[in-house]
Amino acid sequence: MLGAHLNPADYLSRVAQVFQTLDLKETEQLAEDIYSAYENGKFVFICGNGGSGSNSSHFCEDLGKSSLDRKDFTNDERKRLKVLSLTDNTPYILAWGNDEGFDRVFVEQLKNLASPGDVLIAISGSGNSPNILNAVEWANRKGLVTWGITGYSGGKLKSLGQKNLHVPLDDMGIVECVHLILFHWILNDLHGRINQIGRYQVQR
């Protein structure tokens, strides 16, 4: 952990350096794929473990609610993004984990819910979490669009996912923070597209 060796100023300076190493086309492409799912009525599934599981829940909540303009909250006819975090059905996860093994907790949910053309966003800082890899492997076979969201070297997920958003740093906390910052930009971008504001404002 870098914070064990650095004071706050140096730690934040190291965090800032990470942003200069990112391929931001990856972030833009993830936003594009989520918007395409919205346009085509496809589901977006998100999964992760630990802090990445928390990011999965956070990103799902943001995309589901904050992609809308506030004036549309009570509009039953307003089209909405179909998004679900696979980390949040605790009894379901515990049942699969207890009966069949923790490596099945995400893929078994996808078998109930997913269809070809849906998007799976699989978050793993190490890129080597077995339950993440199982879900992506199955999704690839079943015609989903798969994204690996990774840190460190990217692990197995970097090559298994059809597409990848990679933060090249060997510090889990900073990797998870950078993932969440990028997810917030994606939310902002989707909000602009869906509501035709900001740089997506329709010229009249």
Q: Which residue ranges form the domains of the chain, and what is each CATH number?
A: 23-69+78-195 (3.40.50.10490)
User: What is the average pLDDT score of the chain?
Assistant: 93
Alpha helices by DSSP H, the chain: 8-19, 24-40, 50-61, 90-99, 107-113, 130-141, 157-160, 172-195
| Lookup result for tokens 């307003």 | 78
Region 65-85: mean pLDDT is: 83
Question: Is-contact 157 135, C-beta < 8 A?
Answer: no
CA distances for 117 relative to 23, 24, 70, 114, 195, angstroms = 25, 24, 29, 9, 23
Quote the crossing angle between the two packed helices 24-40 and 172-195, to the nearest 10°: 50
Region 48-56: mean pLDDT is: 97
Burial class (CB in 10 A: 0-12, 13-18, 19+), 120: buried
Q: What percent of the chain has pLDDT over 70?
A: 98
pLDDT band, very low/low/confident/very high, at 203 (cuts 50, 70, 90): low
Q: Higher-confidence residue: 204 or 161?
A: 161
Q: Is the pLDDT of residue 204 over 60?
A: no
| Lookup result for tokens 């090559």 | 159
Q: What is the 8-class DSSP label of residue 65?
A: I
pLDDT band, very low/low/confident/very high, at 201 (cuts 50, 70, 90): confident
Q: Is the pLDDT of residue 140 over 70?
A: yes
Q: What does the pLDDT read at residue 72?
A: 67
Cβ count near 36 (within 10 Å): 13
Closest CA to 181 of 69, 68, 62: 62
Region 51-59: mean pLDDT is: 97
Q: What does the pLDDT read at residue 71?
A: 76
